[in-house]
Structure 1
Amino acid sequence: YYYTAPGFTFDAMLRYTDVSLELLTDYDMVLFVEQGIRGGLVQASERYCRANNPKTPGYDAEKPSSWLVYQDCNNLYGYAMGEYMPYGGFKWYDGDLNRSLELLNGMTDKSDVGRIYEVDIAYPDNLHDAHNDLPFLPRNAVPPGSKVNKLMATLERKERYIVHYRNLKQAIANGLIVEKVHRVLEFQQSAWLAEYINLNTSMRKKAGNEFERDFFKLLNNAVFGKTMECVRNRIAMELVSCPRRMRKLINKPTFKHVTTYTETLAAVSLQKSDVHFSKPIYVGFAVLEISKELMYDYHYNVMRRHYNDSIRLM
């Protein structure tokens, strides 16, 4: 049995797909992939917008008509998980790093071998106005006047930026310039997850009530979540009612804190003395990258091509 749906769906996925996911044993590879995990992009490109059209109060016919439109991509992570995902064969590219960029041109979304690049990349000044709404390759940084790390889409030059090959191809095609390649991690990939994602998507369409629709949506999204579990933050907790045992745990170098419930019961939290990297975090990395690729493709190759400069992101 399972305590939660996420634990259930991950095991169900492994059984249904019969995939064997390689776990990273090279610590440099673990750090490499972790550094490339940036989460989803949320931003306000404009502080204030106001619609002006016949369907809005205060319409001014002498001013140009404008509309505010909300758009959403249904099943965004489901789409990404249906694409080619890494599963094994991880190794550092040992060829000429400069030539690795030339090989990038021959790679497709369905290549058997994928790559993750670490590059220095420049954002030419002539692109700044055109890309101001949604700059390519967002990065994690602390913005001025803040102490909190944020994912920001900026027009700055980026050093040692870790990026999936599909996103790098997209950025280069839109004018960004790679100045140097530091490292390249190769892997085997296939659409091994698509069958399970499509199954849940199909079951969600057939669902007869809101609970079932939410459940099958969760079964897909939770697969992504399980690949992104941060095992570094796990703790060991012990319920204690014995004073002698309490003193022993508090004296441990891994002691964090104690929560007292009653005079005779407390919970002691301890840091893990060792960390087992038992999650295929490279899958979560690929899902996040490919989902961004789709959103950028929609903005630049659909909306901007159709409406040109007459649209802006809010």
Structure 2
Amino acid sequence: MGQAFNPSKPTSWISYVDANNLYGWAISQFLPIGNYQWEASRKYLLKNSVMQKKYLEKILKAKPNARRGYFLNIKSYFLLKTHDYLRDLPPAVENVAVGKDWLSPYNEKLVNNLDGRFSKTKNEVSEILSFDQTNWLAPYIAFNTRNARAKNAFRKRLLQAHE
């Protein structure tokens, strides 16, 4: 890179990802459709850590395809000395069980290095929004995906006529 390279700046990379139909996949998932409700007031939650824990346990037991979905606003505070190290693997991004087959050697190293070394100093559930959810667009997206793969000329012309 010559003169443009500055070793004092943080390292960054550009990744090429070859992925198809990400938008179609995303809108095929369970999405909020209405009946939004705040589960508890912000003041109540921030003053009552026992209720925060009860709500959190209830929500974590809910299945992703359940009739009710939840959005949570959680404040987590980590020790200042851990901030630089945690930029490689942000904690608490998603509640998902990661299988060994998902991990690259680099990820496995990060998981082993981060496991238990960085304790959170404070966690607060400040807001919980619940809503009805469904994957109402999934059949439509699946239909369009199948039709995009049409092999014969008649089927392709038929689909173009309906656009």
Q: TM-score range by the shorter chain?
A: 0.5 to 0.7
Q: Does 1:87 align with 2:33?
A: yes
Q: Does 1:97 align with 2:48?
A: no
Q: CA deviation at 1:203?
A: 1.8
Tell me which residue corresponds to 1:71. Answer: 17
Q: Does 1:199 align with 2:143?
A: yes
Which protein, 1 or 2, shows the higher relative CO under an 8 Å CA cutoff with sep ≥ 6?
A: 2
Question: Runs of at least 4 residues of structure 1 off by over 6 A?
Answer: none
Identity score, percent: 24
Q: CA deviation at 1:202?
A: 1.4
Tell me which residue corresponds to 2:133. Answer: 189
Q: CA deviation at 1:133?
A: 3.7
In 2, are the aligned partners of 1:85 and 1:191 still within 8 Å (CA)? yes
Tell me which residue corresponds to 1:169. Answer: 95
Q: Does 1:116 align with 2:60?
A: no
- Structure showing greater radius of gyration is 1
Q: CA deviation at 1:206?
A: 2.1
What is the Cα-based RMSD across aligned positions, in Å?
4.0
CA distance in 2, matches of 1:108, 1:181: 20
TM-score, length-normalised on structure 1? 0.31
Structure 2: tracts of 5 or more residues without a match? 1-9, 46-50, 97-110
CA distance in 1, matches of 2:11, 2:149: 36
CA spacing shift, 1:201–1:192, aligned 2, 3 Å: same
CA distance in 2, matches of 1:206, 1:75: 16
Query: What amino acid is aligned across from residue 120 of structure 1 in structure 2?
Result: K
CA distance in 2, matches of 1:207, 1:122: 55
CA spacing shift, 1:184–1:75, aligned 2, 3 Å: same
TM-score, length-normalised on structure 2? 0.54
Q: CA deviation at 1:93?
A: 0.4
CA spacing shift, 1:110–1:99, aligned 2, 3 Å: same
